[in-house]
């Protein structure tokens, strides 16, 4: 019997009103103060630190014109770090409400591209659980132009089917909806759920380096490689997540980043 992958990370995500982040620094400071207030109201939870560290990346979702990759329940993402370390990562992901569907997805990378592998539990508002398996590799800066090119990173992308027929490897890839998102990841604050620490992130997307925010997401996550999560920590995390959603910043029914990229409703 095939061994089931362990959930190495639990991540809680809620979309925010991006219009409130035109002044990013001031908004991040105010958001952090409100997070401290949430923790104080609930007790047994501590929030420490401020949003200080910023990572800048370009995000592109790649698919065929008729979105063959998405129709095969996969997402293919290209992410390029900005600055001196201009490294390009490619992630192939399967997300599903069924843990075993996600865990069983074939995302194996090619031999020359060793992958970082994850099985995560994504928790969206109000408390919507999805399981996400992903393999990430470091690859060429130039985006693959066809399914054949993409299959050099992830062979399964050369074996996709549509209407029960194998797709041509010559199918061209393009940025989904011609979108290239400039992403800022702000981090720094930590949440303590008794003995369990959680990292906080604020993610902002714009269409250019100094463009107005298009998408804003707040998240926190904690990890355990053995999937030995403490019930008390999980309960406190759930209560904190529910409290966060009551803040004026939040749009609990807002579109996720992937939904925004594909132009699908929330």
Q: What is the pLDDT of residues 180-217, one digit of tens each?
A: 999 999 999 999 999 999 999 999 999 988 899 999 99
Residue 174: per-residue pLDDT: 98
Q: What are the beta bridge partners of residue 61? A: 77
Query: Could you give the percent of the chain with pLDDT greater than 90?
Result: 93
Residue 259: per-residue pLDDT: 96
Residue 227: per-residue pLDDT: 96
pLDDT digits (tens, 9 = 90+) for 156-181: 999 999 999 999 999 999 999 999 99
pLDDT digits (tens, 9 = 90+) for 98-144: 999 999 999 999 999 999 999 999 999 999 999 999 999 999 999 99
Quick one: CA dihedral 167, 171, 176, 177, positive or negative? negative
| Chain centroid, CA 158 distance in Å | 24
CA-based radius of gyration for the chain? 19
Q: What are the beta bridge partners of residue 162? A: 165
Q: How confident is the model at residue 67 (pLDDT cuts 50, 70, 90)?
A: very high
Q: How confident is the model at residue 5 (pLDDT cuts 50, 70, 90)?
A: confident
Measured at the CA of 137, the angle between CA 131 and CA 143, to 5 degrees, comes to 105
pLDDT digits (tens, 9 = 90+) for 6-37: 999 999 999 999 999 999 999 999 999 999 99
Alpha helix stretches (DSSP H) within 52-130: 68-71, 99-103
Other beta carbons less than 10 A from residue 40's beta carbon: 11
Domains within the chain, CATH numbers bracketed? 9-262 (2.40.320.10)
Predicted structure pTM score: 0.94
Q: What is the 3-state secondary structure (H, E, C) of the chain?
A: CCCCCCCCEEEEEEEECHHHHCCHHHHHHHHHHHHHHHHHHHCCEEEECCCCEEEEEEEEEEECCCCHHHHCCCEEEEEEECCCCCCEEEEEEEEECCHHHHHCCCCCCCCCCCCEEEEEEEEECCCEEEEEEEEEEEECCCCCCEHHHHHCCCHHHHCCEECCEECCCCCECEEHHHCCEEEEEEEEEEEEECCEEEEEEEEEEECCCCCCEEEEEEEEEEECCCCCCCHHHHHHHHHHHHHHCCCCCECCCCCCHHHHHHCCCC
Question: Measured between alpha carbons, how far is 149 from 171 in angstroms, rounded to an integer?
Answer: 10
């Amino acid at each position: 019997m095939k061994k089931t992958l362990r959930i190495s990370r639990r991540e809680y995500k809620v979309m925010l009103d991006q219009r409130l982040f035109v002044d990013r620094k001031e908004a991040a400071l105010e958001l952090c103060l409100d997070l401290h207030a949430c923790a104080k109201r609930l007790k047994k939870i501590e929030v420490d630190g401020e949003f200080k560290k910023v990572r800048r990346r370009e995000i592109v979702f790649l698919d065929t014109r008729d979105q063959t990759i998405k129709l095969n329940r996969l997402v293919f993402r290209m992410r390029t770090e900005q600055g001196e370390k201009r490294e390009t990562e490619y992630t192939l992901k399967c997300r599903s409400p069924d843990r075993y569907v996600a865990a069983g997805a074939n995302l194996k990378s090619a031999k020359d591209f060793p992958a970082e592998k994850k099985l995560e539990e994504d928790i969206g508002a109000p408390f919507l659980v999805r399981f996400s398996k992903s393999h990430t590799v470091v690859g060429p800066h130039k985006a693959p132009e066809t399914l054949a090119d993409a299959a050099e990173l992830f062979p399964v992308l050369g074996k996709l089917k549509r209407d029960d027929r194998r797709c041509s490897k010559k199918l061209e890839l393009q940025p989904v909806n011609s979108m290239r998102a400039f992403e800022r990841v702000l981090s720094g604050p930590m949440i303590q759920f008794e003995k369990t620490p959680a990292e906080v992130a604020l993610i902002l997307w714009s269409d250019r380096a100094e463009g107005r925010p298009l998408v804003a997401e707040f998240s926190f996550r904690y990890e355990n490689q053995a999937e030995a999560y403490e019930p008390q920590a999980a309960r406190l995390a759930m209560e904190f997540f529910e409290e966060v959603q009551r803040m004026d910043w939040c749009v609990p029914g807002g579109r996720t980043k992937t939904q925004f990229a594909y132009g699908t409703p929330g």
